[in-house]
Every structure is written in C-alpha cells, then in structure tokens.
Amino acid sequence: MKPLNPHPVTLYRNPRFTPAEAYGADRTSLLSAPAMAQAQAVISAWPGYAPTPLLALPGLARAAGVASIHYKDEAGRFGLGSFKALGGAYAVASLLCRELGQRLGRLVSHDELQSDPVLRQACADITVTCATDGNHGRSVAWGAQMLGCRCVIYIHATVSEGRKQAIARYGAQVVRTSGNYDQAVQQADHDAKAQGWFVISDTSYPGYMDVPRDVMQGYQLMVHEAASALPQWPTHVLVQAGVGGFAAAVCAYFWERHPEQRPVFVVVEPERADCLLQSARAGEVVAVKGDLDTLMAGLACGEVSLLAWQVLASGANAFCTIPDAAAVETMRLLASPQPGDPAIVAGESAVAGLAALLLMAEDPSASANLGLTPDSRVLLFGSEGDTDPTLYQQLVGRSASQVREQGSDA
Ligand SMILES: Cc1ncc(COP(=O)(O)O)c(C=O)c1O
C-alpha cells in the first residue's frame, strides 16, 4: 500500500552540483571537524545533554522500496522540542566568550564562562535578543538563562500564545510586535542598536556572519551523533529548509568527512516558501516575496542565509518542494506507524524530508533522477516534536502523549 496519497512535488536537479569539488578552505573556515569537536565539548557538558535517538523505520523503508530509512528524532533535545536547542544556545555561549574576552583583553573559555562567578556576574550586564517564530527564540532564551545573561525575544502577531509561553518559561522578556516576521526582525535590530544589545540570529547577511556560523556549528553535533550511530554510511539525505542553515550544516558534514562517498543530498522546502529552490534556478541568491503562507512555520522563510548558500549552491544535488497537505499526512503517518516501526511525534516543520522521499519513491522519473533504488540507505532528520502542542493535536487528532502511549501499546 502507498504510504501517502499523491501530492505535487517539484524536483529541480542542481546544475551547479560538482561531484569532484573539494570541500575547500572557504567552507572549512565556516564549518569544520575541529570546530564541531569544540561545539561537542561545550554542548555535551550542558545539564541534560544526551544524544537524541536515531530510529530505524523498516516498515516505511519497505513501503518506499529502499533498503533502510533512519530518522534522527530531535523531539526530545534538551527538553526544548527541536534541534534548534543546539544552535541558538551555543551561539549565545560563544558570543559571551567573545564579548567578555574583548572587555577583559584576554581569551575567555566556555568552561570559565560557567564556572567563574566573576564572569557569570559580568554576563548579567549583557542582553541578547532575536526575532523568532518559535524554536530559535526558545533556544536563545534557554541559553541565556543557563549562562546568566538577559534576553529579550521578539515574536510577530501570529505566533501562538503557547509558543510565546514556551519562550517566557526560560526567563526571557517576550515582546509581541504588530506586523509579520520581518517587522519583528527590524524591531529586534532597532532595539538592539538603541540599547547596546547583541542580536543572536540564525540567518546571516553581509556584515553579520560570526553568530549564524556558531549557530550552524552547534547544529552539526546532531549530524555527528547521527553519523556515529548509523550502521552504514547513507546513500541519500533529505533535509527540510527555511533559511538553509540547518541543511547546510548537514550537507557540509558529509562533504567534509567523506568527499569521495557523499550521499545524494536533497533540500526540501514548502512550495510557497522556496527561496533555496528559486536561488538554485537563478544561479544566485534571490528572495521569495508574498506571504510565505505555510503550516510549516519553521520553514516559512523568503530569504536564504548567505553562509548556507556557500555550502548548498554547489553542494546540494537537488532542491524540491512539497505542499502543506503532504506534511500533515506525514505527521499522521508517523503517529500511526507501519508494522515494525515506532510511533513518532513529529511537528509540522519536522517531516518535509520524509514526505519528499515517500512522494518521490512513488515517481519512477524522480526516483531515477535521484538514484533511489532498493539498495538505498536514507537518512532523515525529524527536526522537531510537538513544539506547538495545540496545533499538533488539531492536525493529528491526538496529543503527543496519546500518540506515544498508543505506540508503546502496539
Ligand atoms: C523544526 C525546524 N526544522 C527546520 C528548520 C529550518 O532551519 P533553517 O532555517 O536553518 O533552514 C527550522 C527553522 O526554524 C525549524 O524550526
């Protein structure tokens, strides 16, 4: 039986993908194995750290006609519900080291930041800020609370009350702006300049690279955990994207570690927020206008992160888009698993990679295009759990705890 109903998928093969291209010095200065090891040393010392599970889905693999599917389930990451816990919080820690180092005229290490009471006191005078539609702001607020600095998070008009409270729980001041996400970004920037605060953004733009690079470096710990737990190196990796930082962190990891054995790498976006696919078509970064209307809130981005583009422009084999309806069906599919598979709680922005795989596996020309065969070993990242529990229950028809309980009975 087909796991999903048919839905339209756009698949664009990247003409700039060059299999023999070296990872290269520019990209090494952005994301590298030594910098990943540093992020791992820091993040794994935080309270509550544990690698998230890598789940084998043999039932879905059978249905999709591939050898294996592994799903890295980020729902439990540090109790925050998404992989974003790794990035924003690590960028806050790195910024505090840089800023205090400058003030004191010496290097300040991550260890000292947490153990030295004088440095901790100094952190209390520093304020970090960002605009968010949920997950990134939660991570920044959590990191700020852990490290003892102040935090102001901007959310736009339609961010749910539940998401607002989830951020406020970590002691941040949450400011709701009247406009859309871009206006919240402008407000955060404006207030940061006026007050001497530090913006911790997950996207990069000219003149603003250090912080988003740290964010992406934090994400790579998730990839490292997955790669270390896999029984075999994957042949295919499909990853959902908003500004592209997450996808670039994953792509760069496999490219740098095994340039001769790179998995086929596919970037997946919502059909109405496809800034990466449009940039690939144009051969340069272009913005997508319009209301970016998608249920996949974490992926509703109209502008590509420049650092991410440095990796994805020639590092991704293909870009593809899926409609919201395919994401919702995939959330339900994971909640009511195939025989042999675990029940998985996956939020709206978590499932685009899996949805795209299942849809393309049904399409002989897309499968041939990507080299999907019965021998393929696919790796996916379930980037969030029910980060908006009310919306999750509306879309799936059951709460996360009901899904987990019923799954364990099965
Ligand atoms: C759950 C989830 N998955 C994926 C992404 C995409 O990450 P990026 O914007 O770095 O592409 C986001 C971004 O907020 C997210 O919240």
The residues that are catalytic are 84, 133
Mutational test site, ligand 1, from 299, 310, 387, max ligand atoms within 8 Å of CB: 299
Query: The tokens 């995939």 sit on which residue?
Result: 330
d(Cα 284, Cα 281) in Å, to the nearest integer? 8
Q: Is the CB of 246 under 6 A from ligand 1?
A: yes
Atom nearest to 87 CA in ligand 1: 10
In three-state form (DSSP H/G/I as H, E/B as E, the rest C), the secondary structure along 322-387 is: ECHHHHHHHHHHHHCCCCCCCCCCCCCCCCHHHHHHHHHHCCHHHHHHHCCCCCCEEEEEECECCC
Q: Is the CB of 245 under 6 A from ligand 1?
A: yes
Output the CA 297–ligand 1 centroid distance in Å: 9
What integer pLDDT is reported at residue 157 of this predicted model? 87
Residue 160 phi, psi (nearest 5): -65, 155
Are 152 and 173 spatial neighbours (Cβ–Cβ below 8 Å)? yes
Q: Is the CB of 88 under 6 A from ligand 1?
A: no
What integer pLDDT is reported at residue 180 of this predicted model? 82
Output the CA 383–ligand 1 centroid distance in Å: 7
Q: Is the CB of 251 under 6 A from ligand 1?
A: no
Tens-level pLDDT at each residue, the chain (410 residues): 688 999 999 999 999 999 999 999 999 999 999 999 999 999 999 999 999 999 999 999 999 999 999 999 999 999 999 999 999 999 999 999 999 999 999 999 999 998 999 999 999 999 999 999 899 999 999 999 999 999 999 999 889 898 999 999 999 999 999 978 888 999 999 999 999 999 999 999 999 999 999 999 999 999 999 999 999 999 999 999 999 999 999 999 999 999 999 999 999 999 999 999 999 999 999 999 888 889 999 999 999 999 999 999 999 999 999 999 999 999 999 999 989 999 999 999 999 999 999 999 999 999 999 999 999 999 999 999 999 999 999 999 999 999 999 886 55
d(Cα 40, Cα 190) in Å, to the nearest integer? 33
What's the token pair of residue 222? Answer: 């998730």
Residue closest by Cα to atom 16 of ligand 1:
298
What integer pLDDT is reported at residue 179 of this predicted model? 79
Neighbour tally for 173: CB within 10 Å: 14
Atom nearest to 202 CA in ligand 1: 10
Q: Is the CB of 216 under 6 A from ligand 1?
A: no
Are 11 and 369 spatial neighbours (Cβ–Cβ below 8 Å)? yes
Q: Is the CB of 72 under 6 A from ligand 1?
A: no
What integer pLDDT is reported at residue 410 of this predicted model? 54
Output the CA 105–ligand 1 centroid distance in Å: 36
In order, the DSSP letters of 146-206 are HHT-EEEEEE-TTS-HHHHHHHHTTT-EEEE-SS-HHHHHHHHHHHHHHHT-EE--SS-BT
Buried b or exposed e, range 67-88, using 16+ CB within 10 angstroms = bbbbbbbbbbbbebbbbbbbbb
Output the CA 342–ligand 1 centroid distance in Å: 24
Atom nearest to 240 CA in ligand 1: 4
Atom nearest to 133 CA in ligand 1: 14
Closest CA to 263 of 215, 308, 318, 313: 318
d(Cα 406, Cα 246) in Å, to the nearest integer? 31
Output the CA 271–ligand 1 centroid distance in Å: 15
d(Cα 33, Cα 234) in Å, to the nearest integer? 19
CATH numbers and ranges of domains, the chain: 10-82+212-409 (3.40.50.1100), 84-209 (3.40.50.1100)
Beta bridge partners of 70: 56, 379
Question: What 3-state class would DSSP assign to 66?
Answer: coil
Are 187 and 131 spatial neighbours (Cβ–Cβ below 8 Å)? yes
d(Cα 21, Cα 112) in Å, to the nearest integer? 40
Q: What is the DSSP letter of 75?
A: G
d(Cα 215, Cα 346) in Å, to the nearest integer? 22
Output the CA 81–ligand 1 centroid distance in Å: 12
d(Cα 402, Cα 61) in Å, to the nearest integer? 25
Residue closest by Cα to atom 13 of ligand 1:
298
**Non-local CB neighbours of 345 within 8 Å, separated by 6+ positions:** 75, 334, 335, 385, 386, 392, 400, 403, 404
Q: What is the DSSP letter of 80?
A: T
What's the token pair of residue 69? Answer: 């599917």
Mutational test site, ligand 1, from 71, 84, 321, max ligand atoms within 8 Å of CB: 84
Q: Is the CB of 299 under 6 A from ligand 1?
A: yes
